[in-house]
Amino acid sequence: MNIFVTGACGYKGTVLVQKLLERGHRVTAFDIMWFGNFLKPHPILTVIEGDLRNADSYDLKDHDAIIHLAAVANDPCGDMDPKLTWEVSCLATMQLADKAVRAGIPHFIYASSGSVYGIKEEPQVTEDLELKPITEYNKTKMVAERVLLSYADRMKVQIVRPATVCGYSPRMWLDVSVNMLTMQALEKGHITVFGGRQVRPNIHMDDITGLYLYLLDHPEIVGIYNAGFENISILDIAERVCKHVPAKITVTESNDPRSYRVNSDKLLATGFRPSKTVEDAIREMVALHKQGVLKNDDRCYNLKWMQRNVFREAA
């Protein structure tokens, strides 16, 4: 198959593209490359540096499916420049979907977010609950979902609401909880936990990228699916890190009491099964750090990097 992947040079995209190539799919990797390009050259890989907001900068002709990962990722980055966030994460998605239908693309996979639910008191957050997004990032994801569903009569639309992804990628992201706490332990021997009781849903990098492959193989599985398999507290994550890295934990007060839990029974009912855990991600990152592969680089912190290199240009 010929697959068009947006956000292909990002945290998830870099891993996903490699897996697609290993399966023999031809891939067009489209990315603005704010964080660079860590994709390895491959005979059936075409890499295009471009801005998704410019619909004339990409061609969907002769593609069999789209996997749409591109976005201004996470709440702090989204709130830093709401206009940019809406343009990239929502309006560009609308343009991409419209162009996909006009090009006759039969299959569209969209990476939404488990954060679209907002704050929920329910112990089991399922796909049928009302969405009450809080941040610009959450809101753009919700609106983009609705845009894509409006095209569901003209192409197969699969929407994934992932939990927080953890684990290694060549384009590493250290702003997310498991990765950040592991790096703190490795670099400082000390983990600072704000609050600690907040619960976060998590999914391993291999499982979220494996899910996109699974959906690609099963276009009949349409609709919206949560994807998160471990709802654990921030303090619990820190304690799991300390099983593999000697580190002291300091718990301080937090002004963010929000807890997120997701239920992924609907996805499991399709036959998909996760294969890795948070602890696997920690163990793998510790090993890669010892080998010198995983490094604590400024590029790995989205907010810091975008403040320095992206938002300044946008202004």
Q: What is the pLDDT of residues 204-237, one digit of tens each?
A: 999 999 999 999 999 999 999 999 999 999 999 9
DSSP per-residue letters across 32-54: --TT---PPP-TTEEEEE--TT-
Residue 122, helix vs strand vs coil: coil
Domains present along the chain, CATH in parentheses:
2-314 (3.40.50.720)
Region 6-20 average pLDDT: 98
How many residues comprise the chain? Answer: 315
Please calculate the CA angle 166-169-170 and round it to the nearest 5 degrees: 160
Q: Report yes or no: 80 and 303 within 8 Å, Cβ to Cβ.
A: yes
Q: DSSP 3-state assignment of 32?
A: coil
Confidence at 198, pLDDT banded by 50, 70, 90: confident
Q: Are 9 and 33 in contact (CB under 8 A)?
A: yes
| pLDDT tens-digit map of 155-189 | 999 999 999 999 999 999 999 999 999 999 999 99
Tokens standing for 198?
């907040």
pLDDT at 258 (0 to 100): 67
**To which residue do tokens 């790096």 refer?**
183
pLDDT band per the 50, 70, 90 thresholds, residue 141: very high
pLDDT at 7 over 90: yes
The answer to whether 173 and 302 have CB atoms below 8 angstroms apart is yes
Average pLDDT of the segment spanning 47-71: 96
CA distance between the termini of the chain = 40
